[in-house]
Amino acid sequence: MKIAVLRALIGLLSLSLLQVPMAHAEAARAQLHVYVTDSCIIADEPYYVPEVQPQAGADGMTPKFLLPLLGVVVGKLAELGINHEIQGSANRLKGRAARKDTRYALTKEANLYRADLQAAPVLHINAALGCMTIVAAKKMQPAGTDCKDAYIPKTLAPESMSAPEDERKTSRTDDSLENQLRRANVCVDGPVAAVYEARFEFSKDGTAYRFKNAGYRINSLLTTDAKGATRTTLYTLQISQPGATDQQEVLSSAWVNIGTVSAGAHAGAPEKDNAPWLRTPPLSAEARRAYEDKTKAQLEISTEIDSLKRSLARAQRVLDGLDQRIATSSADVAAGLQQERTKLAVQIQTQSAELDACNADFAELPHAPLEFMPVTIEVAVTETESEKKAQLAVADIIGNNSDIVAAAAANATSGIFSKSADPSDLKTEPDSAGGNAELARARDRYYSALTEAPAGGDAARRDLSLAKTQYNDARRALGLEPIR
């Protein structure tokens, strides 16, 4: 009996020892790091004009330069990814933390909206959300490392100068992913396992977006080292609203399926990418209040400027009409019209002075852009053994989030990777029934009434009082302080 128990213990110990290198191998696999830029790091890497060579007979002082031939140097880099284990984290991708075929990247907060204040405040999608680059690597260089100087540009080969764009070649000797990433100061320690890139494409009014494959380079799979192994690979992102608790509200989800791949696979952006349209998360009530509060002076002065310009344009038209009537009227009528003209001319001079003062006040206000609505962007790369499992993974996302625009959702599980929304499903105009639109209209009515009140008599003053009440009602409806 004792011998049997001893044999059993030895067997269990042997199994536990076998699991140690497996666990170590799992921990040693590549982790994800996510970067959001206004242009793609790999897909948009430009060719560069080679240095100018001295000409025969010249004085040897010919300039040397190295300028982009195509595209621009990547800018506005925002590192969103951090090397972190997903298990036990409050920011994990909901419901899929236990998947064995998925690698995750946690993110820091990014602001979804941006307000430009050079003229009248304009709120739009943050321009830095142009491309997302997912880098899978076992180790990154220490934080603060600057590797941009080590980047070897993609210099155009002299013989390719006149060649079509798709036939151009580079004369550089290092086309590795590690070198290309250095252009954006993404510093990898050792080889890169894989890079995936996708573009954010927004509708003109910013209410819908698509997540489009921009290409990939896979040096090694993330879930297996087996020679010749293939995997159906997709990557997903979730945009969530940060909260005080572990339960974050998922605002939107998007995905890209790149199909069946193996180690060594690479591809650029597909010729056709019918990615479905998704609803852009609207500005939250809290972010709206922050926007209205921080841009109150700019909004009100710019609205007053617009009201004064409209009033001046109208007064000038009336003045021109009076001049024509005075020229063709009798002396008695012309005298009465001349009094009206003088009164109107004084109004124009007064409003012109007010307009100059408003323009001066606006010039003194801060004009640096502001960002609003922090969100968390979480990314996962899934390598499954079959297309069916990949479809089930995306169907799970769709089941948990109802942000897919109309027709795309109806066909999601049957043809998710080839369907897109009909253009008629997209919003192309602002929501006129929303409180935000009503606030803008009420503000405009108030400042128009304020402009007309001094010369409009009792009726104009009553209109001003009513417009002020309506403006304050619209502000209170959004939780904003009323004006005095």
DSSP states along 458-469: HHHHHHHHHHHH
For 331, the token pair is: 């002396």
Q: What is the pLDDT of residues 202-249, one digit of tens each?
A: 888 778 888 899 999 999 998 888 888 999 998 888 888 876 556 677
Report CA 410 to chain centroid distance, whole Å.
26
Predicted local confidence at residue 3, as pLDDT: 52
Q: Tell me 246's DSSP state.
A: S
Task: Average the pLDDT over each of 176-185, 271-280, 343-352, 415-424 and give the range with the smallest value.
Answer: 415-424
Among 130, 107, 112, smallest CA distance to 39 is for 130
Confidence of residue 59 (pLDDT cuts 50, 70, 90): low
Percent over 70 (pLDDT), the chain: 73
Q: Give the predicted TM-score (pTM) of the model.
A: 0.70
Q: From its phi and psi, is residue 245 left (phi > 0), alpha (psi between -120 and 50) or beta?
A: beta
Give the per-residue pLDDT at 178. Answer: 95
| Contacts (Cβ under 8 Å, ≥6 apart) of 328 | none
CA atoms within 13 A on the CB side of 136: 25
Q: Is the pLDDT of residue 6 over 50?
A: no
Is pLDDT of 312 > 90?
yes
- Alpha-carbon separation of residue 99 from 66, 96, 253 (angstroms): 47, 6, 18
Task: Please check whether residue 131 is in contact with residue 40, taking contact to mean a CB–CB distance below 8 angstroms.
Answer: yes
Whether the CB-CB separation of 46 and 73 falls below 8 Å is answered with yes
pLDDT of residue 267: 92
Residue 53's pLDDT is 59
User: Among 127-131, 252-256, 428-432, which range has the highest average pLDDT?
Assistant: 252-256
Nearest to 73 by CA among 45, 50, 43: 45
pLDDT at 88 over 50: no
% helix, strand, coil for the chain, step of 5: 40, 25, 40
The reported pLDDT for the residue numbered 331 is 85
Let me know: does 177 contact 217? Beta carbons within 8 Å.
yes
- pLDDT level of residue 262 (50, 70, 90 thresholds): very high
Look up residue 323 and give its amino acid.
Answer: D
Tens of pLDDT, residue by residue over 12-42, are: 433 333 443 433 444 457 888 888 888 899 9
Residue 406's pLDDT is what?
35
The answer on pLDDT for 56 being more than 80 is no
CA-CA distance, 200 to 76, in Å (whole number)? 15
